[in-house]
Amino acid sequence: MTSLDTSLREHVRILGESLGRTMSAAHGEEFLEQVESIRTLSKQVHQGEATPQQLSESLRQLDDEALLPVARAFTQFLNLANAAEQHYRARERVVEDYRRGEQPGLTLLLNKLLEQGVAPQRIAEALDAQRVELVFTAHPTEVSRRTLIQKYDALDACLARYEQDSSEKNRAQVLRRLEEIIAQAWHTDEIRSQRPSPVDEAKWGFAVIENSLWQAVPAYYRALDEQLLRVCGQPLPLDAAPVRFASWMGGDRDGNPRVTARVTQQVLWLSRWQAADLYHRDIDQLRAELSMHQASEALVQRVGPVREPYRVLLGQVRERLRATLDWLKAQLDGKPYDDERILFDVDGLREPLMLCYESLCECGMQVIADGLLRDILRRLSAFGMSLMRLDVRQEAPRHAQVLSEATRYLGLGDYAEWDEQRRVDFLLHELTNPRPLLPESWPCSDESREVLDTCRVIAAERHDALGAYVISMAGQPSDVLAVALLLKTAGLERSMRIVPLFETLADLERAPRVIDGLLSLPWYQTYTRGRQEVMIGYSDSAKDAGQLAASWAQYRAQEAVTEVCARHQVHLTLFHGRGGTVGRGGGPTQAAILAQPPGSVQGRLRVTEQGEMIRFKFGLPALAERALEVYTCAVLEATLAPPPAPRPEWRELMNRLAADAVASYRGMVRETPDFVPYFRQLTPEQELAKLPLGSRPAKRKPGGGIESLRAIPWIFAWTQVRLMLPAWLGSDTALQQAVARGETQALREMIEGWPFFASNINMLEMVLTKVDLASVVEYEELLVEDALKPLGAGLRDREQQLVSCLLTLLQQQELLEQVPLTRQAISVRNPYIIPLHQLQAELLARVRACEQQGVCSANPAMLERALMVTIAGIAAGLRNTG
């Protein structure tokens, strides 16, 4: 195995030694020796020189008081290892893992496009028209506290100084600062005392922009302009922004009762306040820099014959931003405020800045114009005046409930009992009716009032602050028309993007018919203005049918919806609801985008980025620059040089694979009586609800079973015990049956020639590398009743057979031969994760004994806290959760 980068090893060593000194100071040298003994034994287990049972026995001998600090020790080391790796990735610009020789880059792509005969002007036009929107969402299993994330970011700055400064004196100062930060982290609780509110989650998203993307966006566009000047002879227009940002934080109310109309309004105001504050700081700095006296006639006419015209104009802009901040503060405080200087839209800020830019260029000072001023203009194009456009998401049944109450109130019958055609006829009639559907005040349930209040917030807000209205559980055209009617009822006089979200296997199969039905309605065609957005859900479809079958259903749904929109001459934007893990559509960005059906991208893409992945991709400016480059490149390539369509025989084979996979997956998850008891006994699924993670509940219905469990904790629970079952169950049967039918060569050809299939196989290979069957056995031995253990043995056998089958298909000796960084990262962490697994299993046994039998060996609160720490540590070690 290729060794880890020398500097990365050195940084891990430095951080680990500092942590050791911190622990020794806090708990004594004997405790440090105890932790080191466990680590050494764990490493021997990993290398096959000791048995898991020996490690398990060593951990069982720990005093009750030692359980929590030992769990914290291994968790902190994993967090520090992550910080070191994050620094390495930022320095080397490796934001995601690809096979050797396949790291995507703008220079390589532009050269490739030119070689393929794509004209430079077409490249420039495609980038100018490109619209990639990254939609930040809160993560219900984001385990790291914001205060600790800030400390790990401070470690990154220290490591950078340590690398750049060769002075022994200065390095010693850096090391002292490192140890201070590590001590701060050690003496800080890893676990939140309470769940974050939706507003807290939104503030976390704003912090990512302030601390990283505010610097990364203009830096990235500088690099992009250099490449475009080389290839196309022109930079990107200053008002262009191929990558923009949106958010669900504070707008996603699907199953989250804590997101109310009031919360959404507050987040909208806070977002605009944060943007105005950042621009205010920028303008203050720019005003200090632009001390020049020479100016264009247009600028002189604007400010008069003054000595420092740029400062005068920017002083006026600064005052307008100050008035805007005061107005937003008054809005948040519920106080009246009026000032004619308030900046409401982008043009109000862009116009004076462009006047300064053009004046500087006209007077021979372009080098100054292309400094901070150009950066601010780039930020303005990317972030606007609201920082991130806010989407609103609500489930279709909530809209139907409002209309059902309304039609009963109006004496029209019960909307809930009508068939689809009657619903559509009613909705279209009311949408074209100039009178309002309902009086402003009418007796309705609190739930319906909340939906209408949200619509009123939307109607009162400026359009550039809002993104889309996403409908989860959408299944028919009336679900979309219902939202349009409710928005009209609330007073919205403009069109809003209304986006149906298709999630389950049945939803995905129904999607083309729903979109065709909508676009066949003349009223709706006019409403959309020639553009339709459709969201594809990855989480629930994979939970419903297994990863392989869901992936193929998503692909076919995108193909069909693309064809429907082309037939209706409507421009389609696909919105991908991807998560961080394989079971939720996760994976390297470029591979995922190029795996989409040919013709489905066309320069436009929306995609969710969730909690922990936001931090891993965008948490540091250098990483964020690289992530922006990858998105831009992937969408440009998918638009100008899309991969070929799959061969007919590949599609037929994929149909067989999917059918075999879904039958196998559902046969286990839905039809095996012992499966649910096994899942609940083996994993910490029940205990996850106690961990104060995101603001959203773990279940849509508190009393439900597996079917009501959200996809994220479903995957999280299996990840904790290292079986990773949602990502591979079903794929094992499908691939083995294909091999048994003599289709090995066809599968290899699909891996080689079809990006969609190759992406699925690559992700399967990655997730199987993270499986640790020895840990699964330890959980089973302690937690699962004997009658259920044969089911576990069967699952482990299936996983091993899948690994063997996959290695045969890939003609490899070990998994991830071609992606060494990922394999090394997993391997180097295992000695620290394995003790956490065994501690977690022991703690689960003790916590359950307390709850079920009243037998407590220690303070129950301490046991639960130690358990929560192991959950956080394992999540940190594996770098993804749900």
Is 87 in the active site? no
Beta carbons within 8 Å of 582's beta carbon, 6+ residues apart: 547, 724, 727, 763, 764, 766, 767
Beta bridge partners, 573, equal: 533
Is 837 in the active site? no
- The burial class, CB within 10 Å (0-12 / 13-18 / 19+), for 813 is exposed
The answer to whether the CB of 502 falls within 8 A of the CB of 536 is: yes
What is the three-class DSSP state of 135?
Answer: strand
DSSP string, 219-286: HHHHHHHHHHHHHHSS---TT--SEEEEE-TTTB-TT-TT--HHHHHHHHHHHHHHHHHHHHHHHHHH
CB atoms within 10 A of CB 223: 14
DSSP string, 686-705: HHHTTS--SSS-SBSSTT--
Number of helical (H) and strand (E) elements in the chain, helices listed first: 39, 8
What is the three-class DSSP state of 168?
Answer: helix
Whole-angstrom CA distances from 111 to 236, 500, 640 are 18, 38, 13
The answer to whether the CB of 231 falls within 8 A of the CB of 118 is: no
435: left (phi over 0), alpha (psi -120 to 50) or beta: beta
- What is d(CA 280, CA 379) in angstroms, rounded to the nearest whole number? 13
Residue with tokens 């053009």: 358
Q: Which of 27, 139, 280, 488 is catalytic?
A: 139
495: left (phi over 0), alpha (psi -120 to 50) or beta: beta
Which amino acid makes up residue 36?
Answer: E
- What is d(CA 267, CA 418) in angstroms, rounded to the nearest whole number? 37
Closest CA to 459 of 485, 428, 494: 494
Phi and psi for 297 in degrees, rounded to 5? -60, -40
DSSP string, 11-47: HHHHHHHHHHHHHHHHH-HHHHHHHHHHHHHHHHHHT
- What is d(CA 22, CA 738) in angstroms, rounded to the nearest whole number? 55
**Structural tokens at position 880:** 């993804």
Helix axes 52-60, 820-853, angle to 10 degrees: 50
The answer to whether the CB of 825 falls within 8 A of the CB of 85 is: yes
**Structural tokens at position 655:** 């149909």
Q: Which of 11, 543, 576, 617 is catalytic?
A: 543
Mind telling me the catalytic residues?
Answer: 139, 543
